[in-house]
Structure 1
Amino acid sequence: MKTLYGRKSFLLLASLCLSPISFAANGLYLTAYGAEQTGLGGADIANSDDTGSLIANPAGLANIELSRSDYSATGFSIARIAHRDEYNHDIRVSNELGGVVGAGYAQRLADKNIVIGAGVNVAGGLGYVYDNINTAFGTKDDLNAMFSLFRFSGGAAWNISEDLRLGFVVAATYATAEQTLFEDTSVADANQTFFGVKIRDLNGWGSDIKIGMQYDVSPELTVGLNYTSQSKIDLDDGKMTVNYNAIGNGRVKYSNVSMRGLETPQEFGIGAHWKLKPDFAIALEANWFDWAGATRRLEIKASKPNGPAPVDSLSQISSVKMHSRIVYSIGIEKTLSSGDILRAGYSYHSLIINKSSLSPTFALTPQHDYALAYGTKLNKHWLMDIAFAYQPRKSVQYNNPELPFGDSVETNESFSAHFTLSKLP
């Protein structure tokens, strides 16, 4: 493990900094946004009818008769996510909670054929924190990767005919990230060289477009299509502190840090919504995410140290092998005699990254996602939906040769609660 000064630290960071693209069920994508969509297991391409259509399928905006506002909040617990390696036995994350909030508004224009809408979704507390864990260098230290996302969407939908609806959305995503890799550890001897690192204040923008269609094959059956373009997110303006104490240079801060290569995949989905009875319906969906064509190489650069350092600039490139996957979802909804609606949903996922690239800060993809939901009309203007989702425990064994953990196991298990309040005219 003997290396040039700083190089191994950057190799580790390039591998660990995957977390900004790997949160939740399928990369940075939640299974669904909003309580109603979550309750259907994310099977919403063919039946979206609120401002959540800005994310699910923009054609769904055309189902809004006059106007609509939706306000949503999601809280999730990742307290049972754990990591095990040759130096640690089932250590759990220190950050147990996180959340996503969102709001959207849509309005039908005077010509009655066009609906325009806009929305924002904010995700905070995303990522993983492991405090005071054993390292391969005989120390106890911290490891974390945290980020936040702000997504702004605007779009429109057309009622081409009574049966056909088309829509498009333009979205911008702002991301911030920070990372700590054993920042209090510094080793330089005949056997190994390692300098702890802390990165903060990385931030950047990305953008994508989404187009969608819904078609009523019959009064009982609706089909939908949805395509989202690939998006690149370059992170800049970061600060990095490297612990060079082992060679007498102290802690040196690099003031110009950037990360290149983060990309979200293009996506194509198809869905169907079938009313088997007036009070009972089933929704089906298959969503393809082209992760193999997205992030394949990560590059971290740092320069402008504030003091004497072994090198004035550092750069590390790490290859990443991702797999394109299809997420399958199914949901059912039952309308009660009172008008309230019960929903249940399930989605199936597969691991999107090759096992050899896994790390403690990578969001392990859950294989199964179950949800239950309840919707009610509070009065003639306000609707309320509540959903609960559970991702059962799943573990994966791996050995990432670029990381100092040896044989490792990542375990995922999470629970989330979703709440949406909607206002009609």
Structure 2
Amino acid sequence: MPEFRAANREPPRRAVHRPGPGASGGLLAACLACLPPSGAQASNGLNLIGYGAESVAMAGADVAIAADTLALNTNPAGIARLGPRAFDLHTAVAHAVDVSHADDFGNDQSVSNRFIPVGGVGYVHRPEGSRCAWGIALFGQGGAGFVYEDLNTLFGTVDELSSLVRIARLSPGVACESAGGVHVGAALAVSYADIEQKIFPNTSLGPFFGTDLKGASGWGATIKLGLLAPLSDTLTLGATYTPKVSLPLRGGRLVSNQSAAGRGLVTYHDVDIDGMALPDEASLGLAWRVSPDWLVSAELTWLNWSDAATHSTLTATHPDNPAAPPISVTSTLDWRDQIVLALGVAWRYDAETTVFGGINVARNPIPSEHLSPILAPIGEKHLTLGMKRALNREWALSLAMEYQFRNTVTYTNPDLPLGQNATERNESVAAHAMFGKRW
């Protein structure tokens, strides 16, 4: 493969850092395509801060509460406390207030996909007279990622840099209550993911070949274990553990713009991406019923990103042009672990209405030297508010708003032709609604 180096003509901007002559010609495309992109919604790394409107309203401080069917993704032990039957339908939309990229080439651009949908649905049944309940939940996310449609490039072109990922998780689970009031639960978490990325697909100049990746998909499974234990009449302990799950992506198609080498658009019919994973996760929390109307909850979560996000490898083979070489590139991620602190409060305003609020704080897990425009889940501080209103004896409506405070990171990634002072900004808001039925 040709070497990756600066284009023949000098860009009419400030001097920039350029990869040395030992780098691969497709290094930018391959490195970025290896990375699992995140959406613009508030998150701890690649994980959302909460699942369901009430979970989000408490800023994710709900491991010791687990009050709805979507607890199958937070603490499955909680589904044994929901009664004979429970159903929840959650929908949300996140808005990119300022999710943007700036660099030495005059770019200062917000993402084009400013709205990101999120949702989930769950059902739980506890047979009459049984100490155990079973349930199933499906979590869907569509159109997540970062899309920059018109970036100025090192090569003097204006082109698209984007990454979109769709993730769905199916979680069947079971939970039981002991005679002493302790609840234990387990849920199988089966995740499916696919990815589309464009890395300057219309650019082919000197040694650089733009790419368009579609159709790579894969799945993985793990288990979530949960515990809810009353320590007193007013204090409850919650704990969960989820092992790491790998999500290798297979069967994609990559179009490489090799016009500069006289080969035109080359289609690679077999693309594999290895290294995408969700981390080991352990959570410990306490919920304190301060009074009949007030509840305070605190949660600490450890996310083992240093094991899950170490490196990624993209392999592309079977090109439709026999003169085109195969592609195999490994890139370093070296993410840091996260310790997430979440604090939430619930106040019962009256018999039908409860008001929630919370904060969620965690350090950005991505080292600056490995940051990129399409992998920038750098939010660190989140503020949430919400409410729950009983509509009748069976139905309730929960609403939540979350705000991810702006975080700005200026960085130099030696593998990317973005200059010495590229900048990513991430600030977002999201609105959540959830209908729940108990009968």
What TM-score, normalized to structure 2? 0.93
2:379 to 356, 362, 366: 366
* Range with bigger deviation, 233-242 or 20-29: 20-29
Change (3 A) 1:235 1:6: farther
Q: Could you tell me how far apart the structure 2 residues matched to 1:14 and 1:54 are?
A: 34
SS of residue paired to 2:31: helix
CA contact (8 A) 1:45 1:57 kept: yes
Work out whether 1:300 is the aligned partner of 2:288. Answer: no
The letter of the residue matching 1:184 is N
- Asked if 2 retains the 8 angstrom alpha-carbon contact of 1:186 and 1:246, the reply is yes
* 2:302 maps to amino acid: W
- Give the distance between the partners of 1:141 and 1:254, measured in 2 at CA: 21
Quick one: structure 1 residues 89 and 304, their matched pair in 2 at CA, closer, same or farther if it must change by over 3 Å? closer
User: Is the contact made by 1:115 and 1:156 (CA closer than 8 Å) also made in structure 2?
Assistant: yes
Q: What SS class does the counterpart of residue 333 from structure 1 fall into?
A: strand
Determine whether 1:161 maps to 2:179: yes
Conserved 8 A contact 1:252-1:309 = no
Matched, 1:30 2:44: no
Aligned positions of 1:6-405 closer than 5 A: 7-15=24-32, 17-20=34-37, 24-188=42-206, 193-311=207-325, 313-405=326-418
The share of aligned pairs that are identical, in percent, is 32
Which residue is 2:11 aligned to? Answer: none
Deviation of 1:218 after TM superposition, in Å, equals 1.3
* CA apart distance, 1:22: 7.5
Measured after TM superposition, the shift of residue 195 of structure 1 is: 0.6
* 8 Å Cα contact 1:198-1:240 kept in structure 2: yes
Q: Is the CA contact (8 Å cut-off) linking 2:94 and 2:115 kept in structure 1?
A: yes
Equivalent in the alignment of 1:422: 436
Q: Which digits, 9 at most, give the CA deviation of each residue in 1:43-95, with x for residues without a partner? A: 00001121111011011111112110000001001142011110134211111
Q: 2:425 is paired with a residue of what secondary structure? A: strand
Aligned equivalents of 1:184, 1:107: Cα separation in 2: 53
Superposed CA deviations along residues 245-288 of structure 1, whole A, max 9, x for unmatched, are: 11211101010011011111000000011011100110100000
Q: CA RMSD in A?
A: 1.6
Cα distance in 2 for residues equivalent to 1:211 and 1:130: 39
| Deviation string, structure 1 residues 170-213 (Cα, Å, up to 9, x no partner) | 1100001011011111112xxxx101111001100011100010
Amino acid at match of 1:336: Y
Change (3 A) 1:94 1:22: closer
Aligned residue type for 1:315: S
DSSP 3-state at the match of 1:410: strand
Mapped contact 2:29–2:210 kept (Cα < 8 A): no
| Offset, 1:12 | 3.9
Q: CA separation in 1, counterparts of 2:77 and 2:25? A: 48
Q: Distance in 2 between matches of 1:358 and 1:228?
A: 26
- Evaluate the alpha carbon distance shift between residue 408 and residue 368 of structure 1 in structure 2; reply closer, same or farther with a 3 A threshold: same
Asked if the contact 1:114–1:157 (Cα under 8 Å) also holds between the matched residues in 2, the reply is yes
Structure 1 residues 184 and 6, CA gap change in structure 2 (3 angstroms) = farther
| Per-residue deviation, residues 16-40 of structure 1 (Å, max 9, x unmatched) | 5424367741232110011111111
Query: Is the 8 Å Cα contact of residues 49 and 62 (structure 1) preserved in structure 2?
Result: no
Deviating above 6 A after TM superposition, structure 1's stretches of 4 or more consecutive aligned residues are: 3-6
CA distance in 2, matches of 1:161, 1:151: 32
CA contact (8 A) 2:379 2:426 kept: yes
Alignment CA distance shift 1:60-1:374 (3 Å): same
Cα contact 1:17–1:145 (8 A) shared by 2: no
CA distance, structure 2, for counterparts of residue 167 and residue 215 of structure 1: 12
Q: Which amino acid aligns with 1:133?
A: L
Write the distance in 2 (CA, Å) between the matches of 1:124 and 1:22. Answer: 9
| Secondary structure of residue in 2 paired with 1:400 | coil
Q: Distance in 1 between matches of 2:149 and 2:22?
A: 25
Unaligned runs of 5+ in 2: 6-19
* Separation (CA, whole Å) in 1 of partners of 2:170 and 2:263: 44
- SS of the residue 1:20 aligns to: coil
SS at match of 1:117: strand
| Conserved 8 A contact 1:21-1:262 | no
How far is the alpha carbon of 1:364 from its aligned partner?
Answer: 2.8
* Partner Cα separation in structure 2 for residue 265 and residue 31 of structure 1: 15
Q: 1:341 to 1:68 in 2, by over 3 A?
A: same
The one-letter code sitting in structure 2 at the alignment partner of 1:249 is: R
From the superposition, tell whether residues 238 and 154 of structure 1 become closer, same or farther in structure 2 (CA, over 3 Å): same
Is the Cα–Cα contact under 8 Å of residues 368 and 411 in structure 2 kept in the other structure?
A: yes
Query: Which deviates further from its counterpart, 102-111 or 321-330?
Result: 102-111
**TM-fit CA distance, 1:111:** 4.1
- The answer to whether the 8 A contact 2:309-2:333 is kept is yes
SS at 2:276 equivalent: strand
In structure 2, relative to structure 1, the CA distance for the partners of 1:6 and 1:304 (3 Å cut) is farther
Residue 277 of structure 2 aligns with an amino acid whose one-letter code is E
2:13 alignment partner in structure 1: none
Stretch of structure 1 that moved more, 249-258 or 2-11: 2-11
